[in-house]
Chains A and B, each alone.
Chain A
Amino acid sequence: QSALTQPASVSGSPGQSITISCTGTSSDVGSYNLVSWYQQHPGKAPKLMIYEVSKRPSGVSNRFSGSKSGNTASLTISGLQAEDEADYYCCSYAGSSTSVFGGGTKLTVL
C-alpha cells in the first residue's frame, strides 16, 4: 500500500483557479469512486472538503470541486482566496477495508 502521489506545492493569485492532482493505481483511485479531500491549516486538524470524488459536505464553499479520470483524482479551487492557503490531502479506499492518503500539497496564495 503506497501513498498516493500529490505535487508538493501549488500556487495561485487571488481570484484564480488551481488544480491539485492525486495519482494512485488501479488498486485504489482507479477502482473506486471513493476519493476524499481534506484541508489542513497549520496546527489544525484536517477538514473534509470533498467526498466520493466530487460531493461537497454541507458548509463547504462551491468554489471547491473534485473530479477523477482513470487513476488520477483532482481537486479544483476556483476564485482563490487568502483563506484557502493550507495543506491539502487526498485519500482513497484501497481495498480490503483499508485507506490510503496522499503525501499532501501545500497551496500558497500569492
Chain B
Amino acid sequence: QLQLQESGPGLVKPSETLSLTCTVSGGSISSSSYYWGWIRQPPGKGLEWIGSIYYSGSTYYNPSLKSRVTISVDTSKNQFSLKLSSVTAADTAVYYCARLMITIFGVVIINNWFDPWGQGTLVTVSS
C-alpha cells in the first residue's frame, strides 16, 4: 500500500525559505503514470494546489506561487521536496503531499486526481 509522509521544520521565520520533504513508501516514485504534488491548507481555509513534479524532474507550478516555489525529486531516496522562499504569515498552513494521476497526450500533461495523500504537516511562519 502506497504511503506518503511529509517532514520538515514546523516553524519558519518570515522572509526565510520553507523546506519540506515527502517520502514515498510502498511503491516507486519513478512510475510513468503519476506526477507527485504539493497542496496546502491555511488554518480554517480551503485547499490550494502548489505544484507537481515527475520523476524525470519535470515540474508545473501554481501561477500565483511560481516565483517563490521550487519542487525537486530524488529518485534514489524515493522522495520529492518543496521549497517556498520569502515566506510570510500568509504561508502558514498544513502542507500535504500527494500522488497525482495524470494522462499524457503527446507532450501535454493532464492532471487528474490526487490519491493517496500524506497526513500533512503544519508549518507556521512566525518570528
Bound Cα distance from A103 to B115, whole angstroms: 19
Q: How many residues of A contact B (CB 8 A)?
A: 26
Residue on B with the closest CB to A105?
Answer: B46
Closest Cβ of chain B to A28, distance in Å, is 11
Chain B contacts for A97, CB-based, 8 A: 52, 60, 108-111
What's the minimum C-beta distance from A11 to chain B, rounded to whole angstroms?
19
Q: Which residues of B contact A99 (CB under 8 A)?
A: 37, 49, 52, 100, 111, 114
**B117 touching A102, Cβ below 8 Å:** no
B96 A46 Cβ-Cβ under 8 A: yes
Does more than half of chain B's interface fall in helix, strand or loop, or is it mixed? strand
Task: Give the contacting residue for A46; candidates B109, B111, B117; CB below 8 A.
Answer: B117
Residues from chain A with Cβ under 8 Å of B111 in the complex = 34, 93, 97-99
Looking at the assembled complex, report how far the CB atom of A62 sits from the nearest CB atom of chain B, in whole angstroms: 18
Report Cα–Cα, A102/B100, bound state, in Å.
17
A93 touches B46 (CB 8 A): no
B119 within 8 A of A: yes
Q: Which residues of A contact B (CB under 8 A)?
A: 1, 3, 32, 34, 36, 38, 44-48, 51-52, 57, 89, 91, 93, 96-104
